[in-house]
Each structure stands twice: as C-alpha cells, then as structure tokens.
Amino acid sequence: METQTSNTPFYEPSGDECELFERAWKNRLPLLIKGPTGCGKTRFVSHMAARLGLPLHTVACHDDLTAADLVGRHLIGDGETIWNDGPLTRAVREGGICYLDEVVEARKDTTVVLHPLADDRRMLPIDRTGELLQAPPSFMLVVSYNPGYQNFLKGMKPSTRQRFVSLTFDFPTAAQEEAVLVGETGIDSMTAKRLVSIAGAFRALRDHDLEEVASTRLLVYAATLIKDGYDPVRACRAALVETLTDDTETAVALSEVVSATFGR
C-alpha cells in the first residue's frame, strides 16, 4: 500500500496507474481515463494532483457545456466589461491540471477546443481576447468517461481520442476494495469484507436486474454510515439498495442478500 500524507486524498492503487499518470505528466502527455461510475477515477485524479503539488480544476461535463464555459467569457460589472477565465484557461495559466469528467457528455464542437492543447503544440487560443497561451511544462489535461454509457451520438471523436494516452479503470479486487473501505472510513476489516461481499453479489446482476451495479463510492457511503453507528442493514438499504433500484421486487431481493450477509 502506498504511503498517504494528511494532505493527499486517500487512494488505494490497483496497478501501475500512479506511475503512468506521473510519467504522462512529466512527458507532457494528456491522459484519458475510462471506467464505470464510482470506481475511483475522480479520486485518483485528486490524489495525483495533491501528490504532484498541482492545482486541480475539475469540470463536470454536460450537454449544454460550451467552449466559453471552458475557456472564459466577458462579463459586465460596474459599468465595464471584464474578461473572466474559464477553468481550462485558469489551469493553463497556473500550470495545473484540468480534469474534464465524463467528457463524452459535452458537445463535440465544444471538445474541439482541446485539440491544440492535447497535441505537441500545447497551446490554447482565446479568440475573444486575441491571446495565444502556451501551456507551461507542469500543465496537464485529463479527461474521463464511462464506456458503458457510450452510444453512437455520445462518443469521443477519433480526432480527439487519438491525442491522449489511455488508462482503463475497473472496480478493484475484493482485497483492494476492502483496503479502500478501511482506509477511507476507518471501518473494521470484517465489516469491510461483508460490504465487499454484498457488492460482489450485486455486481453479478449486471445487465439482468440492475442497470447500474454497486460502486466503490456507494460502499464507502454505506461504510461511513455504519462507522457512525447506524445499523448495517439499514445503512446498506439506504446507500446501496434504494440507490440502485426503484423496482420493489428487486429491492426485496437485494435486501435479502444484505440481511443474509449480516446474519439477520
């Protein structure tokens, strides 16, 4: 297990992802992270930003995200027009990390603004001010998405995708996930083992009774409630069962798994 400092968000490595991230940053390469919801992509980026001592600007992408939302826009205040940098521009100026979460949710005409930053030019043109910013060596562009949600209309353009080195995330092994729960919440190892066992049973239902399976994030929520003294079965129902399904029969079946695991 990697040593964590008090200022570094907890993260349990599952392979060489920390080394790849650091080498990509050192060699000025943009990084694409793929993986299911709640498997630790955002926490990983936060961990690496703290580990490298870099400011982090995170953007939650959506259908209405425009290039101006990333780059910046003129605002009117006190009778004058003032330029306001967007998160992408701030990250370039500061030499930090700009992280675009679920990048495929953004319109393709918006993500085109990333192209000159994501190749050997490492430049950001700001058309509205006439600036051409050269990214400093410490700047890094990181994007992520969930491949399970991709469809014909929502996917990365090949011209965008081929500008990145890529890293695939999945849910950790049982032992690693137990370590995450203990390290993140301070819960005892037996309870962590039981929660991970429940997640394994729920994940076996992927594409059958559940559209989404129990993520590591949801397990952390359940562990947090239990650590605070909340009843384990009720905690799992609130953090896992009710979050994953609205179907009464499915909820009953999942609750039976929880009750059996905790000996109720």
**Residue type present at position 100:** L
- Asked whether the predicted pLDDT for residue 155 surpasses 50, the reply is yes
- Asked whether the predicted pLDDT for residue 143 surpasses 80, the reply is yes
User: Nearest to residue 100, comparing CAs of 65, 51, 48?
Assistant: 65
For residue range 10-29, list pLDDT tens digits in order: 898 989 999 999 999 999 99
Residue 98 structure tokens: 């700009």
**How confident is the model at residue 131, as a pLDDT?**
93
The model's confidence at residue 3, banded by pLDDT at 50, 70 and 90, is very low
Residue 91 structure tokens: 């990250």
User: Nearest to residue 41, comparing CAs of 168, 151, 133?
Assistant: 168
CATH code for residues 17-168: 3.40.50.300
**How confident is the model at residue 230, as a pLDDT?**
97
Task: Name the residue ranges covered by the structural domains of the chain.
Answer: 17-168, 174-261
**How confident is the model at residue 158, as a pLDDT?**
83
For residue range 38-75, list pLDDT tens digits in order: 889 999 999 999 999 999 999 999 989 999 999 999 88
Sign of CA dihedral 255, 260, 261, 264: positive
Percent of the chain with pLDDT over 70: 93
Does residue 230 or residue 80 have the better pLDDT?
230
